[in-house]
Structure 1
């Protein structure tokens, strides 16, 4: 099997957990055809836990690229959003809540493509021997999550549904690697997180889910591009978004192939990754008024919880000029 790109994978990515928990974003992929490389434009793509890259490689969508892709891998959305804000990457995948967080921080970015997923993969988890059984039992407990993440959003929404306020728990804001270690050591009582961390914790450490995102999360995620990339790399960006949408549709009916490819890339167990793709059911959707309205609800939830300090009108954060293939 040949690919238009080859991997430059740090040694730390060989071990399963380290494959998805990296402290510093690293460029992982370079063009494999050095003779032509100097003449091709470059699209810098941010990824989370190598999931977009895995889908594109497995579906064959990285063949015959008319440009180079430089991949940068991130353990969570917050640092990816910071990289977009700094212009270090041109485009990257963010969930709905992290996009709100990035925009509130002043990022000059736009959502250029959207997906919906089944939010079973978004969950509040506890250790296997924890006495906690539901969200109500979190009152007075320490709850870890990453600030501004979809996990943070889930925690706020779940607490509200259980008639609790954010002040009824002690939020501990940690990166995923530190949150996992804190849960395992008992330094925190629960962790609000997302796949593949959720699936890995269930499989390897027998973590238990006490709440998930069904009925609480909009299940929206986006490919988010900088304004500079939209203006200066439009052709490359449009082609990339087309390939991503095709790959996502293909992955819906080929979870085994995607999981096998992702396992080779990350070192994570194939069965864990198959769970991620099967329960997520990520599929592309058009950016329409219903998507914009759902995004506004997410922004309003963050505003009400004082996660963002000012009202955010999300309509200006979308660019609908890239058609869904």
Structure 2
């Protein structure tokens, strides 16, 4: 059968058992490589963290090929977790981009073999400027490892590729080592979720972490509220007007006494002992309702609603006075949930 008569590649049948076996072997091999890293987190790792924390400039990550792809991700992770960092391609560095690296910076070089020519070529220039160098390699006796101030050993027993050629387990190990550095540094710096959100303002994560109750709540005249002596009819009118499915019940100084909700109304309708024509809201309201402060995060309101299976919350100040209200639809509009 020649090339013209061979069936197209996409139409060839695969052996399902073989495919599953191959995929599971990849996962097993890479998982073993990651597990082996745990024993390699030693004094050198601690010193690497100390070097980075002491760095007055940026962490410049560099690597070729697949190590370069891993390096870009490590640089991005470091930058988003409190360690200023960027990636420089070693090939471009020797053609002018070396000027991006300043004396206060620190270089993190990644090469599994530790013999990547493009990376080794720029080492003299880095050394001349007295710039610190940390390497991540699979060979502690390699040129890169021995010329570095510190080497982090990311050696793996084998690649997941059956030919032992394609970087698979080795790149995964380098990535995990980079993540370990980033998280250890994050904790050492006391980097908080608010700090993280500031570098992710456009995404859903930023919205979840940065939006406060005060940003999404209804305030002022938009807050449904009636006095304790209000009739059921008056409470229903207020609920209908403000359209939040509830109304706060307050005293003359705006202190929260209770809440009357759609659920309270349904329970009253099912209670034959309640005369709806003469009932006051004080008879039917829920006392001690769940509330939240305006300085809390909007995501906390979502968690509170989910935990107590409610659809709305009243917002109170330190004195227990009603200052706002919100419901699940407000959180949905803000894309908090």
TM-score (norm 1): 0.25
Q: Higher relative CO (CA 8 A, sep ≥ 6), structure 1 or 2?
A: 1
Q: Which structure has the greater CA radius of gyration?
A: 2
More strand by share: 1
Could you tell me the TM-score, scaled by structure 2's length? Answer: 0.24
